[in-house]
Amino acid sequence: MNLNEEKYRPSPSGMEAFTPEQVYQKVQEYSDYKLLTPVYKQMMLGVIAGGYIGLGCIFYLFLRAHIEPAGGIDLFIAGLAFSMGYIMAVLAGAEVFTSSNLQAMSWATGNSKISRILFRWAIILVANTIGALGLVFAVLLSGILWQANDLVGLFAFDVAQFHTQLSFTEIFFRAVLGNLIICIAIWISFAGRTVIDKLVPMTLIISAVPVMDLEHITASLFYVPLALLMPLFNPDLVPPAEYITMTSTFIYLTAVTLGNIIGGGGLVALVYFVIYRGG
């Protein structure tokens, strides 16, 4: 057995976390496998992922709307609620665009062409959009936004307006940081051997994204359409969105998508490839 084989071998006890080198190998193999998934299956997994992340978003909104002024442990707990979407995606199986950016490693290793990766990312992004929009309509038709004196609906509207009125540069770099955090969390989850030791660190890390108002494209695909459609469902309470137009929405989503790709694909997948390539 050579040194390279040894460091990728699981520990004899079967209880200790995988080493960073072993995690790198696991992520690389998983990325290659994901790119071989049939397109129809990836599309279906992407649709349910959009719904899962949206459910985490609405859970976050419910908690956060009741925290004014927000701060400290209350914000942290609301951030943990946001992580619910990723818990469902990881355990039930789903394709989230942000974490799929780790597949850039398959291009770096030469196992997949960039055209194949970009095509799969486009499929997942479209599927996430469909899933998120489906949940938007379900939430609007359910009336749950107007509970507790309309606090949740008004807060959701304010969240979307806040993010879409940021400058392109601010949105882009918040998206870089957002997916840097998301992909590091997913990367670390590969080190665990049980459900608990996978999800505890992942949940704690992902909670930072909403707490710091960072950008996550799949969450944005829920927040922004929700705010755009809200005035149609409750025009007496919610005015037309001042900062949210079709043009501003396109610019916003473009900036978030590009930033997420750089944050996850560039600053996580490709950086670790450079560190560990060749053993």
Can you give the CATH number for the domain in which 116 is found? 1.20.1080.10
HSE, side-chain direction, 13 A CA sphere, residue 278: 2
Query: What's the number of domains the chain is made of?
Result: 1
Helices 246-261 and 168-189 pack at an angle, to 10 degrees, of 40
Q: Where are the beta strands (DSSP E) in 159-277?
A: none
> Is the residue at 256 inside a domain?
yes
> Is the residue at 140 inside a domain?
yes
- Four-point Cα dihedral 246, 166, 227, 235, nearest 10: -90
- pLDDT score recorded for residue 3: 37
Q: How far is CA 60 from CA 9, 29, 50, 275, in A?
A: 39, 33, 15, 36
- pLDDT score recorded for residue 71: 67
> Is the residue at 72 inside a domain?
yes
Provide mean pLDDT across the span 159-184.
96
Q: Where are the beta strands (DSSP E) in 32-161?
A: none
> Is the residue at 157 inside a domain?
yes
- pLDDT score recorded for residue 80: 93
> Which three-class secondary structure state does DSSP give residue 202?
helix
> Is the residue at 96 inside a domain?
yes
CB of 276 closer than 8 Å to CB of 21: yes
- pLDDT score recorded for residue 209: 96
Q: In angstroms, rounded to a whole number, what is the distance separating the alpha carbons of residues 102 and 120?
A: 12
> Is the residue at 1 inside a domain?
no
> Is the residue at 79 inside a domain?
yes
Range of the domain at 112: 19-276
Residue 130 C-alpha from the chain's centroid:
15
Model's pTM, two decimal places? 0.90
- What's the chain's average pLDDT? 89
pLDDT of residue 12 exceeding 90, the answer is no
